[in-house]
Amino acid sequence: MENGVVHDKIIIGGGAAGLMAAFSACSIRLDAGESPDVVLLERGEVPGKKLTATGNGKCNFTNKEQSAECYRGSDSDKAYRIINLFDSRKTIDLFKSIGILHRERNGYCYPYGEQAKTLRNALWTKVISLGAVIEPLKKVTGIEKLNGIFRISCEDGSVYQSKKVVISAGGAAAPVFGTDGSIFGLLENMGFNIVKPLPALCGLTSDFKYLKRIEGVRIKCNCTLYSKESSKPLYSEQGEIVFNKNGLSGIPVMNLSRFAIQELSWGNRPRLELDFFPDISKKDLKNYLFSLLNSTVVNVGDVLCSLINDKLLRVMFSQIDLKFDQSSVTYDVKTLGSELEKLVSLMKGMELNITGDTGFENAQATQGGVILKEINENTMESYKYPGMYLAGEVLDVDGMCGGYNLQWAWTTGYIAGRS
Ligand SMILES: Cc1cc2nc3c(=O)[nH]c(=O)nc-3n(C[C@H](O)[C@H](O)[C@H](O)COP(=O)(O)OP(=O)(O)OC[C@H]3O[C@@H](n4cnc5c(N)ncnc54)[C@H](O)[C@@H]3O)c2cc1C
């Protein structure tokens, strides 16, 4: 116990949301002419370790294109209303005010120098200069409220007290950065309603028997996810995917992974349909390939390989039991004949069963967490525990790829800090 000291605000977890909460908590006190009494407890050696790894080390910290669909969870509308209280424009302005200019590509925003550590360092040093105290190597293991005061116990035996507390300890994704999900157990014991945490923004595994043959193939396509039992698409996105020996990844796969994982958790069997020619109708593609039959083209294999990756084409040939000349990658179009129809069907809709995911270790975000019904959307304050605020990935919101998870952390951290 720190000699009975009761702080104004203690922030648990020094990631994106926690650092932002410390920034806004200190700023509001200083604006009011008071000295801040803000302590940030971080279990790691330094705050913001995960931040330095974001966006492949470049930190895609927000996105100028925003909509409710970018924020998934049990209440996307509430999430989006919260985002609009401190939106991407305000975030960009705030970072500019602490020395981080941004660079934009198709709405995606990065620090101008495209180094994630510069953004983390700017926020970290700013927070310290505003008067926040950062306590590293403090893993919080217990929180209780007694007589209106929060008592926060750490793994090393230390105990802190405060009038207000911000929970910004992240989710369960990427445990290597200190987020092992243990915070959910702690919050559940306090009576919070929690949607079961599952991975989001990760790769998927499949039992597709030809995966080894197409390992490493990158290809643009339209990916549509179905619940195996239904013909109604759950999600569809166009972009580049990558096959690996166990399954597939790439931005569209990451974006749909949360829905596939949810289906699997319900005992359903999701499947992916890959359309490698999303801008050509099935009829046009079939007509074009049939026209080859009567053309002067000798080696249809060469023509087909100019349309689609040859390893994938060979797999399609195997699927319809057609022999494929491995050395010259050619095939006499005339012998393709009636099989052309089947080939076109595969080109416009190759199916893969989804059997699993690559786990929290390889996920960029967590789906699930404390439901938004637990918090006041204007302040992020818990209804159950007045004086306690929740921010970031610990809440039941997961963003799409493109800077949305960090935007959620900035927005909620900013509001929770000021409240
Ligand atoms: C590899 C990777 C790349 C990513 N790239 C992007 C990107 O480019 N754009 C984007 O928008 N999102 C990206 N994300 C997602 C984004 O980083 C997170 O959603 C975001 O950091 C969540 O912020 P947070 O503050 O809620 O949690 P975190 O940033 O995870 O921080 C939580 C902090 O709390 C600490 N902590 C945990 N438990 C305790 C405890 N009991 N006591 C004390 N401290 C504790 C942890 O050590 C950690 O420092 C990426 C994620 C990963 C893993």
Residues sharing a CB contact under 8 Å with residue 291, sequence separation 6 or more, in sequence order: none
Atom of ligand 1 nearest to the CA of 398: 19
The rounded Å distance from CA 106 to ligand 1 centre is 24
Alpha helix segments (H runs only) across 58-205:
76-83, 88-97, 116-129, 182-189
Residues sharing a CB contact under 8 Å with residue 34, sequence separation 6 or more, in sequence order: none
The rounded Å distance from CA 168 to ligand 1 centre is 9
Whether 48 and 186 map to the same domain: the answer is yes
Domain count, the chain: 2
Residues sharing a CB contact under 8 Å with residue 345, sequence separation 6 or more, in sequence order: 282
Give dist(CA 363, CA 361) in Å, integer. 6
Which of 358, 378, 399 is at the close of a domain? 358
Whether 160 and 188 map to the same domain: the answer is yes
2 falls within a domain: no
Whether 70 and 152 map to the same domain: the answer is yes
Whether 280 and 375 map to the same domain: the answer is no
Query: What 3-state DSSP class applies to 110?
Result: strand
Whether 185 and 227 map to the same domain: the answer is no
Which of 309, 339, 358 is at the close of a domain? 358
Degrees to nearest 5, angle at CA 273 with 272 and 277: 145
295 falls within a domain: yes
157 falls within a domain: yes
Whether 54 and 160 map to the same domain: the answer is yes
pLDDT digits (tens, 9 = 90+) for 181-239: 999 999 999 999 999 999 999 999 999 999 999 999 999 999 999 997 778 999 999 99
Whether 74 and 17 map to the same domain: the answer is yes
Whether 311 and 409 map to the same domain: the answer is no
The rounded Å distance from CA 170 to ligand 1 centre is 5
Whether 182 and 237 map to the same domain: the answer is no
- What pLDDT score does 321 carry? 81
Nearest CA to ligand 1 atom 3: 54
Residues sharing a CB contact under 8 Å with residue 401, sequence separation 6 or more, in sequence order: 201, 251, 254, 255, 364
Which of 341, 358, 375 is at the close of a domain? 358
66 falls within a domain: yes
* Candidate from 179, 254, 360 with most ligand 1 atoms within 8 A of CB, to mutate: 179
The rounded Å distance from CA 177 to ligand 1 centre is 7
Nearest CA to ligand 1 atom 19: 405
Using 50, 70 and 90 to split pLDDT, how confident is the model at 288?
Answer: confident
The rounded Å distance from CA 162 to ligand 1 centre is 24
Give dist(CA 27, CA 37) in Å, integer. 11
| Mean model confidence pLDDT for the chain | 94
Domain with 139, as residue range(s), is 7-198+362-418
1 falls within a domain: no
Please indicate, yes or no, whether the overall pTM of this predicted structure exceeds 0.75: yes
* Candidate from 46, 54, 153 with most ligand 1 atoms within 8 A of CB, to mutate: 54
pLDDT for residue 329 is more than 50: no
179 falls within a domain: yes
Whether 38 and 169 map to the same domain: the answer is yes
Whether 101 and 140 map to the same domain: the answer is yes
Q: State the CATH number of the domain containing residue 381.
A: 3.50.50.60
Largest CA distance in the chain: 90
The rounded Å distance from CA 51 to ligand 1 centre is 7
129 falls within a domain: yes
234 falls within a domain: yes
Atom of ligand 1 nearest to the CA of 174: 53
pLDDT digits (tens, 9 = 90+) for 13-41: 999 999 999 999 999 999 999 999 999 99
Which protein residues are within 6 Å of ligand 1, measured from CB? Answer: 12-18, 41-44, 49-50, 53-55, 59-60, 138-140, 168-170, 173-174, 177-179, 182-183, 364-365, 392-393, 403-406, 409
Tokens of 42: 């971080």
Whether 315 and 397 map to the same domain: the answer is no
* Candidate from 50, 184, 255 with most ligand 1 atoms within 8 A of CB, to mutate: 50
pLDDT for residue 317 is more than 90: no
Q: What is the dihedral of CA 170, 60, 85, 186, to 10 degrees?
A: 0
The rounded Å distance from CA 367 to ligand 1 centre is 13
Mean pLDDT is highest, among 108-112, 295-299, 303-307, 320-324, for 108-112
- What pLDDT score does 341 carry? 87
Atom of ligand 1 nearest to the CA of 47: 49
The rounded Å distance from CA 221 to ligand 1 centre is 30
